[in-house]
Chain A
Amino acid sequence: DQQVKQNSPSLSVQEGRISILNCDYTNSMFDYFLWYKKYPAEGPTFLISISSIKDKNEDGRFTVFLNKSAKHLSLHIVPSQPGDSAVYFCAARLSMNYGGSQGNLIFGKGTKLSVKP
């Protein structure tokens, strides 16, 4: 069973508009969430993260929102740019109190974002 789910395999957005990528998780023992971006033929690169004790983290055009009660997080990109076109992976880490460890991340399958000029 997938513990981290990205139900939209793809998303298309016009340049300048907001991109919203969604992620759902099933394990309430996750305590840290990350978003990675991946261009073709490259490895994933870290984008932004959030601890479970927060509900929002912002870094420039990127904001991650966490709704623990709904076990849902989202990544907002505003304004979207053509260079943002990539596959975005949501990842979660199990709390160390429940057997988790640094860097042992559980990834979703990714959402391919296309930003059209």
Chain B
Amino acid sequence: DAGVIQSPRHEVTEMGQEVTLRCKPISGHDYLFWYRQTMMRGLELLIYFNNNVPIDDSGMPEDRFSAKMPNASFSTLKIQPSEPRDSAVYFCASSPHRSGNTIYFGEGSWLTVV
């Protein structure tokens, strides 16, 4: 079975540019999560969706960040405009309903903003 699929795997962009990260969750999973990993803060939850509806976006750092889930098989995380401090690994994860809290991560999108 295919796992969570993220693209791009790596992105280098200039400050001020728009960045769009994409995620395809595991088929049949009801929940989708966006996490960010940095050296300073570790893994932190940005936002999560249940049945395509955003439930908690309190982890989104600021208005420059937005996330959408137009259907059950696709989500985007957008940063506009990007800044060097946004450089991090962004993980998408999904889980089925009543999974016992286990979530399944993608391989991550490595973002560098110069």
Q: Interface on A for B, CB 8 Å cutoff?
A: 32, 34, 36, 41-46, 49, 89, 91, 93, 101-110
Cβ of B101 < 8 Å from any Cβ of A? yes
Cβ A103 vs Cβ B91 within 8 A: no
In the complex, what residues of A have CB within 8 A of residue B4's CB? 43
* Residues in chain A near residue B93, CB distance under 8 A: 43, 103
Nearest-CB distance from B101 to chain A (Å)? 5
Docked-complex contact A93 and B101, CB < 8 angstroms: yes
Residue pair B44, A103 in contact (C-beta under 8 Å):
no
Q: B99: CB under 8 A from chain A?
A: yes
Are A89 and B43 in contact (CB-based, < 8 A)? yes
A103 x B101 contact (CB < 8 A): yes
- When chains A and B are docked, how far (Å) is the Cα of A45 from the Cα of B106? 9
**B residues apposed to A, CB below 8 Å:** 4, 31, 33, 42-45, 48, 55-56, 91, 93, 95, 97-108
Interface of B is mostly: strand
Nearest A residue to B58, CB-CB: A104
Q: Are B43 and A107 in contact (CB under 8 A)?
A: yes
What's the nearest-Cβ distance from chain A to residue B35, in Å? Answer: 8
Q: Is the CB of B45 within 8 A of A45?
A: no
Q: Are A105 and B107 in contact (CB under 8 A)?
A: no
Q: A41-B108, A44-B105 given; name 9 further pairs at CB < 8 Å.
A: A34-B102, A46-B102, A91-B43, A102-B99, A102-B101, A103-B93, A104-B45, A104-B56, A107-B42
Known: A43-B107, A49-B100. A103 touches B48 (CB 8 A): yes
Query: Which residues from chain A contact B105 at a C-beta distance below 8 Å?
Result: 36, 43-45
Q: Which of A34, A45, A109 lies at the interface centre, i.e. has the most chain B CB atoms within 10 A of its CB?
A: A109
Mind listing 15 A-B residue pairs with CB under 8 Å?
A41-B108, A42-B108, A43-B108, A44-B43, A44-B91, A45-B104, A46-B104, A91-B43, A101-B48, A102-B31, A102-B98, A102-B101, A105-B45, A109-B42, A110-B43
Given contacts A44-B105, A101-B55, contact A107 B91 (CB under 8 A): no
In the complex, residue of chain A having the shortest beta-carbon distance to the beta carbon of B29: A103
**Do A108 and B42 touch across chains, with their CB atoms under 8 A apart?**
yes
Residues of B within 8 A of A36 (CB): 105
